[in-house]
């Protein structure tokens, strides 16, 4: 299948702290990769390098076969940062519209597109409310809605479900699975190990290296445990 | 182009919803101009009190005839000194012996000291003239000549007219053009800088840069919205000073707008660039003493030609100087667009350099 993200031998240090060591990773069309790892292990850094926001010390990243950083490619992916980067004094609708215009969504399609993404995250009734009046979970969902604008072939989501209740979380994952089945490629990071069971492949980032990169079932049998949570703990324990 | 417009619309929308910043942009200048106008238009004459010890009567009355001067008599120096220490008098004037005077200034206010010095020396001259006139009179009488008692002085007629303003024109009028530009500079600098700073610290800049937007589109978006802000602000300031404070604008008001718009763009690009060096709004405020205050010092409030060469050179690299010059030329001297063109060109050079620096500076946050 077609490769969407390819990370080859990427290394990155901040000062004398080496965060990523020779990382190789592939993401294919119609696949969800769950990037997990302890806090500070470099998940967000890896994403930023893939996006071209951060520069790698060495190595190569390509998205849709083109070398990053590349400005035009940014229009073909949806990115949701770890922090809710939203314009607080604007309404939800104004936020979505603004980013849709940045992505170059056709003027005529703006309104239906706003409604479409708002529905996915159940915010259609709050579109005219200012973001400053949103709860943490609502902001997170709005952030996700913005990433979904123009139905991009690649989604990069940094902890998309933080602050969402179980019902909503289920809804979001159903949507992600639906998109995957349509052929989208999705890269998510998460600290919720239950969610890691829902992905096609788990990439475990530990000590600057990708320790594992396989389906949840394969990893569980490989580590002789019954959940990704235990895989995580066992792998972290072995490293020490 | 569409992105630029969308960005400027968004910035404008955010600004309009921020009532405090709006007040800062549009009401603060009006308030400060009103205060300045009041402070500089109240009667500026100071009254001085001179304590005199042992001074002959004619001299005393000469001094006393001067406006805004009060004479207080003391029997001896000690008493007079006490009055001076208690701020009852501003100077002690003493006659030691005939034609030998001494004066002790309190010297706590330079303007009062200068005024007393002027009064005393004028009084001396007058005394001498009187004495000479007296001697002359005595001499003519002795010689048996007819002295004319009639007032022989012809009525001298002096007609006063003013190139700018009228006889009520105060110091305020001469610094007002500078302040009109300064407010635009100060507020646009701070608010645009803080706006980009907030965009950076809140992460929205990162998110914005994760879309295919060009770095130049972001900078031009800011320019578009803050040009509009500068135009509104200038309109308010201009109409307020003309119609409420009754300050006369000799030249074309359109030229005032052009100058302020260019100055606003300098302030904007400067603010945006410096905001990348700040990590918080407080750090942004720290640029006021090092960036903004020199602008006003060298803007012409203190005449630049009286400064040392090195100080004049500092003035030459500050945009406010050019804007103030152009503004003064238009408002006070009615100069035309062609006359202020060199200053406008300097402002444009500042804008272009800062603009390029900004577009390049955003590379820090995205490599393409
Ligand atoms: N701009 C930066 N300058 C210096 N150090 C940085 C920078 N960005 C990240 N780091 C360091 O790199 C390491 C990895 O950070 P990163 O944000 O990628 O972690 P993460 O895996 O996303 O953590 P979390 O799960 O908490 O989000 C951390 O130790 C962090 O201190
Ligand atoms: Mg992170």
ipTM of the complex in this document: 0.88
Q: Helix, strand, coil % (nearest 5) of chain B? A: 70, 5, 25
Asked whether residue B217 carries a pLDDT value surpassing 80, the answer given is yes
Asked whether residue B156 carries a pLDDT value surpassing 70, the answer given is no
Q: Residue window 101-160, chain A: list those with CB within 8 Å of chain B.
A: 101-104, 146
Mean pLDDT of B322-345: 91
Residues B349 and B266 sit within 8 Å (Cβ to Cβ): no
Q: Is pLDDT larger for residue B104 or for residue B97?
A: B104
Ligand 1 proximity of A42 Cβ (cutoff 6 Å): yes
Whose CA is closest to atom 4 on ligand 1? A14
| Ligand positioned closest to the Cα atom of A35 | 1
Cβ-Cβ contacts under 8 Å, B12 against chain A: none
Residues B212 and A104 sit within 8 Å (Cβ to Cβ): yes
Nearest-CA distance B205 → chain A (Å): 8
pLDDT at B1: 84
DSSP class of residue B146?
P
Taking CB atoms and an 8 Å limit, are A87 and B17 in contact across chains?
no
Q: Which of B43-47, B214-218, B266-270 has the lowest mean pLDDT?
A: B43-47
Taking CB atoms and an 8 Å limit, are B366 and A55 in contact across chains?
no
DSSP class of residue A10?
E
Cα B216 to Cα B11: distance, rounded to the nearest angstrom: 16
Cα B79 to Cα B124: distance, rounded to the nearest angstrom: 25
| Ligand positioned closest to the Cα atom of A46 | 1
Return the ∠ at Cα B49 (arms to B43 and B52), rounded to 5°. Answer: 155
Burial of B9 (0-12, 13-18, 19+ CB in 10 A): middle
Cα B92 to Cα B83: distance, rounded to the nearest angstrom: 9
For B7, name the nearest residue in chain A, comparing CA atoms only: A98
CATH 3.40.190.10-classified regions of chain B: 48-142
| Domain at B48-142, CATH homologous superfamily | Periplasmic binding protein-like II (3.40.190.10)
Taking CB atoms and an 8 Å limit, are B202 and A104 in contact across chains?
no
Residues B209 and B160 sit within 8 Å (Cβ to Cβ): no
Structure tokens at B278: 């700040």
Q: Is pLDDT larger for residue B58 or for residue A109?
A: A109
Residues B299 and B321 sit within 8 Å (Cβ to Cβ): yes
Mean pLDDT of B33-37: 87
Asked whether residue B332 carries a pLDDT value surpassing 90, the answer given is no
Ligand 1 proximity of A164 Cβ (cutoff 6 Å): no
pLDDT per position as a tens digit, B282-316: 888 888 888 888 888 888 777 767 777 887 788 88
Mutation choice for ligand 1 from A42, A54, A161, CB with most ligand atoms inside 8 A: A42
How many other β-carbons are positioned within 10 Å of the β-carbon of residue A230?
Answer: 15
Interchain contact A69–B (C-beta under 8 A): yes
For A71, name the nearest residue in chain B, comparing CA atoms only: B212
Beta bridge partners of B91: B50, B105
Rg over alpha carbons for chain B, rounded to the nearest Å, is: 30
> What residues of B are in the A interface, CB distance below 8 Å?
2-3, 6, 10, 13-14, 17-18, 202-214, 365-368
Residues A63 and A70 sit within 8 Å (Cβ to Cβ): yes
Cα B65 to Cα B126: distance, rounded to the nearest angstrom: 11
pLDDT per position as a tens digit, B159-179: 777 777 776 667 777 788 888
What domains lie within chain A, and their CATH numbers? 3-239 (3.40.50.300)
Whose CA is closest to atom 29 on ligand 1? A40
pLDDT at A80: 92
Interchain contact A72–B (C-beta under 8 A): yes
pLDDT at A178: 93
Pairing mode, strands B48-53 and A77-80: unpaired
pLDDT at B323: 92
pLDDT, averaged per 10 consecutive residues of chain A (240 residues), comes to: 88 92 92 91 90 87 88 90 91 96 93 94 93 92 93 92 85 91 93 88 89 86 87 81
Return the ∠ at Cα B193 (arms to B1 and B14), rounded to 5°. Answer: 60
For B10, name the nearest residue in chain A, comparing CA atoms only: A98
Most confident of B47-51, B108-112, B135-139: B47-51
Nearest-CA distance A44 → chain B (Å): 13
Q: How far apart are the first and last CA of chain B?
A: 18
Ligand 1 proximity of A82 Cβ (cutoff 6 Å): yes
Which atom of ligand 1 lies nearest, measured to the CA of A45?
Answer: 18
What are all long-range contacts of A41-44, with beta carbons under 8 Å and residues at least 24 apart? A41/A205, A41/A206, A41/A207, A41/A208, A42/A12, A42/A205, A42/A208, A43/A158, A43/A189, A43/A205, A44/A82, A44/A158, A44/A189
How many other β-carbons are positioned within 10 Å of the β-carbon of residue B343?
Answer: 22
Whose CA is closest to atom 26 on ligand 1? A39
Backbone angles phi, psi at B234, to 5 degrees: -65, -40
How many other β-carbons are positioned within 10 Å of the β-carbon of residue A216?
Answer: 19
Cα B318 to Cα B300: distance, rounded to the nearest angstrom: 11
Taking CB atoms and an 8 Å limit, are A74 and B2 in contact across chains?
no
Q: How many residues does chain A have?
A: 240
Q: How far apart are the first and last CA of chain A?
A: 37
Burial of B231 (0-12, 13-18, 19+ CB in 10 A): middle
Cα B10 to Cα B207: distance, rounded to the nearest angstrom: 15
Ligand 1 proximity of A39 Cβ (cutoff 6 Å): yes
Beta bridge partners of A14: A17
Q: How many residues does chain B have?
A: 368
Whose CA is closest to atom 19 on ligand 1? A40
pLDDT at B184: 87
- Peptide bond preceding B330: is omega within 30 degrees of 0, i.e. cis? no
Taking CB atoms and an 8 Å limit, are A70 and B206 in contact across chains?
no
Backbone angles phi, psi at A20, to 5 degrees: -125, 130
What 3-state class would DSSP assign to B166? coil
Rg over alpha carbons for chain A, rounded to the nearest Å, is: 18
Per-residue CA distances from B182 to A105, B225, B231, B323, B345 (Å): 41, 19, 14, 9, 18
pLDDT > 90 fraction of chain B, expressed in percent and rounded: 26
Cα B171 to Cα B179: distance, rounded to the nearest angstrom: 12
Cβ-Cβ contacts under 8 Å, A75 against chain B: 211-212
Per-residue CA distances from A87 to A77, B8, B228, B297 (Å): 21, 14, 21, 38
This prediction has a pTM of: 0.81
pLDDT per position as a tens digit, B344-363: 999 999 999 999 999 998 88
């Amino acid at each position: 299948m077609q490769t969407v993200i390819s990370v080859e031998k990427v290394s990155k240090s901040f000062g004398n702290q080496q965060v990523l060591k020779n990382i190789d990773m592939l993401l294919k069309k119609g696949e969800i990769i769950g990037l997990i790892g302890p806090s500070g292990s470099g998940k967000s850094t890896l994403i930023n390098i893939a996006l071209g926001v951060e520069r790698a010390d060495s190595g190569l990243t390509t998205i849709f076969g083109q070398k990053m950083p590349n400005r035009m490619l940014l229009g073909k992916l949806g990115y949701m940062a770890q922090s809710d980067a939203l314009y607080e004094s604007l309404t939800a609708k104004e936020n979505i519209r603004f980013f849709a215009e940045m992505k170059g969504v056709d003027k005529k399609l703006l309104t239906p597109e706003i409604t479409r993404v708002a529905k996915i995250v159940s915010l259609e009734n709050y579109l005219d409310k200012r973001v400053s009046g949103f709860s943490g979970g609502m902001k997170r969902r709005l952030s996700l809605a913005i990433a979904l604008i123009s139905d991009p072939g690649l989604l990069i989501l940094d902890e998309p479900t933080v602050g969402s209740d179980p019902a909503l979380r289920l809804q979001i994952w159903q949507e992600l699975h639906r998109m995957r089945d349509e052929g989208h490629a999705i890269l998510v990071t998460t600290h919720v190990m239950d969610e890691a069971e829902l992905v096609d492949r788990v990439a475990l980032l530990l000590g600057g290296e990708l320790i594992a990169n396989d389906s949840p079932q394969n990893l569980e049998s490989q580590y002789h445990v019954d959940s990704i949570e235990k895989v995580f703990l066992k792998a972290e324990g072995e490293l020490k | 182009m569409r992105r630029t417009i969308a960005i400027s619309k968004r910035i404008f929308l955010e600004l309009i919803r921020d009532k405090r910043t709006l007040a800062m942009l549009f009401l603060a200048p009006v308030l400060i101009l009103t205060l300045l106008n009041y402070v500089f238009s109240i009667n500026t004459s100071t009254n001085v009190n001179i304590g005199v010890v042992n001074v002959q009567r004619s001299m005393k009355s000469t001094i006393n005839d001067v406006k805004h001067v009060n004479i207080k008599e003391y029997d001896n120096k000690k008493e007079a000194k006490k009055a001076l220490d208690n701020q009852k008098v501003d100077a002690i004037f003493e006659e030691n012996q005939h034609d030998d005077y001494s004066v002790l200034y309190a010297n706590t206010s330079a303007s009062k000291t200068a005024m007393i010095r002027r009064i005393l020396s004028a009084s001396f001259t007058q005394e001498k003239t009187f004495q000479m006139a007296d001697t002359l009179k005595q001499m003519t009488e002795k010689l048996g000549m007819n002295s004319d008692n009639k007032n022989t002085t012809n009525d001298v007629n002096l007609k006063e007219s003013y190139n700018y303003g009228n006889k009520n024109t105060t110091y305020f009028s001469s610094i007002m053009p500078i302040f009109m530009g300064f407010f635009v500079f100060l507020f646009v600098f701070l608010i645009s800088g803080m706006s980009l700073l907030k965009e950076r610290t809140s992460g929205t800049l990162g998110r914005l840069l994760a879309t295919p937007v060009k770095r130049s589109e972001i900078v031009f978006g800011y320019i578009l919205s803050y040009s509009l802000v500068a135009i509104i602000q200038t309109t308010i300031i201009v109409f307020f000073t003309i119609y409420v404070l009754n300050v006369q604008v000799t030249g074309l008001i359109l030229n005032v707008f052009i100058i302020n718009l260019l100055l606003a763009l300098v302030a904007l690009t400067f603010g945006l660039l410096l905001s990348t060096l700040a990590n918080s709004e407080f750090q942004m405020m720290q640029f006021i003493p090092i960036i903004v205050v020199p602008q006003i010092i060298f803007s012409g409030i203190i005449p630049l030609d009286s400064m040392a060469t090195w100080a004049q050179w500092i003035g030459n690299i500050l945009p406010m100087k050019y804007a103030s010059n152009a503004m003064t030329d238009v408002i006070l001297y009615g100069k035309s667009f062609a006359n202020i063109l060199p200053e406008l060109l300097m402002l444009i050079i500042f804008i272009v350099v800062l603009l390029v620096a900004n577009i390049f500076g955003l590379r820090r946050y995205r490599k393409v």
